[in-house]
Amino acid sequence: MELTNEQIAEYKGVYVYAQQVDNEISGIAFELLGKAKELAANLDTDVTAVLIGSGVKGLADSLAEYGADKVIVVDDPELKDYRTEPYTHALASVINEYKPDIMLVGATAIGRDLGPRVSARVQTGLTADCTVLEIGDFPLNPIPNQEQKHNQLLMTRPAFGGNTIATIACPNNRPQMATVRPGVMQKIAPISGAKAEVIEFNPGFTPDSKYVEILEVVKSVKETVDIQAAKILVSGGRGVGSEENFKLLRDLADAIGGEVSCSRAVVENGWLSQDHQVGQTGKTVRPNVYFAIGISGAIQHVAGMEESDVIIAINKDEDAPIFDVADYGIVGDLNKIVPQLTEAIKAEIANK
């Protein structure tokens, strides 16, 4: 439902959903606070973190250290493990009570579940998976007979597997809600000893048919890698040839302080697990350096890595499409080049 300008004026402040799992704040919450602080400075307002869980009040200080001016805590036994309905009720109630201008949620498995449901409940728009957030005018340029609104949240997101980019505003509804891709926003250097105003709020929880019962929580025993957090990725494709040969890439990654990732073909061959996969059906990464080794560069793969700052490709096929996106392309045999490169890097680092 569209709001009038008077109604919109009632909504103030930049709010962040401070995701916690097992009463430990997720990294995304700090990243969002970093961004929120910047947006709040632009809007001359303050930053509020919304902390939802059971027995989580003690976590408020760490949020203050990363930039929260206020922390609203919703603490209730119903909120022990994440469940869509009670968490939606908690966050939607906070929004209805405190009327934030901007509400940021991490685009994590939890945030992408919680965000849509909350936005529908508070009847506002939600822009998913944003990579850029800034304050500006909407429409960007004045249009005759249309009011140009200032101080709007402009939310930029890739779509279509990264092939299109759209900047979206939510001019007539509040709050302006976005989920934000993890690993994109910068957290601030923590200010130790910082304190926030802590507000406790409990809207009351009455289980109904929308409450889902958790029968079992199983923590994955398998070690998952977070290739999105890595600054350097050593990525291999079908050209690596075998599971054993990935050792060459792992050695290089260890030497240079990076992680190993891969293309879809590698996952399909069972050489590495799915959490290593870069691309349209895997993860989107933007490390400082991306080594594409034995990767032909199918569009689905490129969509997931072309934002990397520096792309170095090694491939024996001089016509491989990966060379069309690589900053530095080397036509050659990875089996010979990679081990030597690893040694050269080790030597270089040792000499420093």
Partner 1 sequence: MKIVVCVKQVPDTKGGVEFNPDGTLNRAAMLTIMNPDDKAGLEAALRLKDQYGAEVTVVTMGLPKAEDVLREALAMGADKGILVTDRVLGGADTWATSTTLAGALRNLDYDLVITGRQAIDGDTAQVGPQIAEHLGLPVISYAEEIVAVDDKTITVKRQYEDRYHILKAQLPCLLTALAELNEPRYMTPGGIFDAVDAEITVWGRADLKDIDDGNLGLKGSPTKIAKASDKVRKGAGEKVSPESPDEAVSYIMDKLVTKHII
Shortest approach of partner 1 to residue 66 CB, angstroms? 20
The C-alpha atoms of residue 246 and residue 318 are separated, in whole angstroms, by 22
Site track for partner 1 across 256-295, x = CB under 8 A: x-----------------------xx------xx------
229 is a site residue for partner 1 (CB under 8 A): no
> Quick one: which of 211, 240, 236, 257 has its CA closest to 85?
211
Length in residues, the chain: 352
Binding test (CB under 8 A) with partner 1, winner from 85, 99, 198, 286: 85
Shortest approach of partner 1 to residue 29 CB, angstroms? 14
Phi, psi of 81 (to 5 degrees): -105, 155
Shortest approach of partner 1 to residue 288 CB, angstroms? 7
Contacts of residues 240-245 at CB distance under 8 Å and 24 or more positions apart, as own/partner, are 240/266, 240/271, 240/293, 240/294, 240/334, 241/294, 241/335, 242/271, 243/269, 243/270, 243/271, 243/272, 245/335
165 is a site residue for partner 1 (CB under 8 A): yes
Contacts of residues 343-349 at CB distance under 8 Å and 24 or more positions apart, as own/partner, are 345/252, 345/255, 345/256, 346/255, 349/255
Which range touches partner 1 (CB under 8 A), out of 59-67, 194-202, 236-244, 331-339? 331-339
232 is a site residue for partner 1 (CB under 8 A): yes
The C-alpha atoms of residue 167 and residue 25 are separated, in whole angstroms, by 29
Q: Which is nearer to partner 1, 34 or 161 (CB)?
A: 161
For 5-60, what is the HEC assignment?
A: HHHHHCCCCEEEECCEECCEECHHHHHHHHHHHHHHHHHCCCEEEEEEECCCHHHH
340 is a site residue for partner 1 (CB under 8 A): yes
Binding test (CB under 8 A) with partner 1, winner from 7, 84, 269, 273: 84
Q: Which is nearer to partner 1, 26 or 65 (CB)?
A: 26
191 is a site residue for partner 1 (CB under 8 A): no
Q: Which is nearer to partner 1, 12 or 112 (CB)?
A: 112
The C-alpha atoms of residue 272 and residue 247 are separated, in whole angstroms, by 11
325 is a site residue for partner 1 (CB under 8 A): yes
125 is a site residue for partner 1 (CB under 8 A): yes
Shortest approach of partner 1 to residue 203 CB, angstroms? 17
Beta bridge partners of 107: none
The C-alpha atoms of residue 336 and residue 205 are separated, in whole angstroms, by 63
151 is a site residue for partner 1 (CB under 8 A): no
First-to-final CA distance of the chain: 62
7 is a site residue for partner 1 (CB under 8 A): no
318 is a site residue for partner 1 (CB under 8 A): yes
Shortest approach of partner 1 to residue 187 CB, angstroms? 18
Shortest approach of partner 1 to residue 89 CB, angstroms? 11
48 is a site residue for partner 1 (CB under 8 A): no
345 is a site residue for partner 1 (CB under 8 A): yes
